[in-house]
A = this chain, B = another copy of it.
């Protein structure tokens, strides 16, 4: 009895921004790697960026973890497209929950 897979990949768990505490949202954005992910994502059309397509200086496991945090903060939605997992920034929903926060974080910052 060799253990087998399920034949399909588990759909990623998402948290709606409405269910996200402020502290969680702030903590999610208070990391340089995740901030880069969010910003790059904001500059691309929805569902066009796979997880591995981002220019961040971390390995695959760390990257996977960061996306998990972003999902848990209601910032990112993911969908499986063949072998790749493509992403979308939850602009409107997140902005409804935390008005102005995304805009603030996406603004070109003179200091970094």
Contact = CB atoms under 8 A, between A and B. Distances in A.
A42 interface: no
Interface string A71-112: 000000000000000000000000000111101110001011
Interface string A5-36: 00000000000000111110011011110010
Contact of A30 (B27, B104, B111, B112): B27
Nearest to A19: B111
A70 to B, nearest CB: 14
10 contacts: A20-B111, A21-B111, A22-B105, A23-B30, A23-B31, A26-B29, A27-B30, A99-B100, A100-B100, A101-B101
